[in-house]
Amino acid sequence: MLNLARVGLVGEHASPELAARALESLKSDITASEAGRVKNRYMKQLGIRALISSAALALVGALLCIWTATRPVACIAFVLAGCMAGVWLSFGARKAVLRFEDLHIPEEDRLEPVIRLVFAGLLTLVIALLFSLKAIVVTMGATSTDQITSDVRLAVLVGMLCGFSEQVLSTRVAKQAGVLLDF
Give 161-171 pLDDT, tens digit per residue: 999 998 888 88
- The per-residue pLDDT of the chain, averaged, comes to 83
Higher pLDDT, 94 or 127: 127
- Predicted confidence at residue 178, as pLDDT, reads 84
Amino acid at residue number 179: V
Domain ranges of the chain: 36-180
Higher pLDDT, 1 or 47: 47
**How is 21-40 classified by DSSP, letter by letter?**
HHHHHHHHHHHHHHHHHHHH
Angstrom distance (rounded) from CA 158 to CA 83:
8
* pLDDT tens-digit readout, 13-51: 666 776 677 667 767 777 666 767 778 888 899 999 999
Contacts of 158 (CB under 8 A, 6+ apart): 79, 82, 127, 128, 131, 145, 148
102 has pLDDT over 80 = no
- Mean pLDDT, to the nearest integer, of 131-146? 89
Segment 127-141 mean pLDDT: 90
Q: What is the pLDDT of residues 39-88, one digit of tens each?
A: 888 889 999 999 999 999 999 999 988 877 677 889 999 999 999 999 99
137 contacts 146 by C-beta, under 8 angstroms: yes
CA 96 to each of CA 35, 90, 154: distance values in angstroms, whole numbers, following the listed order: 10, 10, 28
**Residue 66 in 3-state DSSP?**
helix
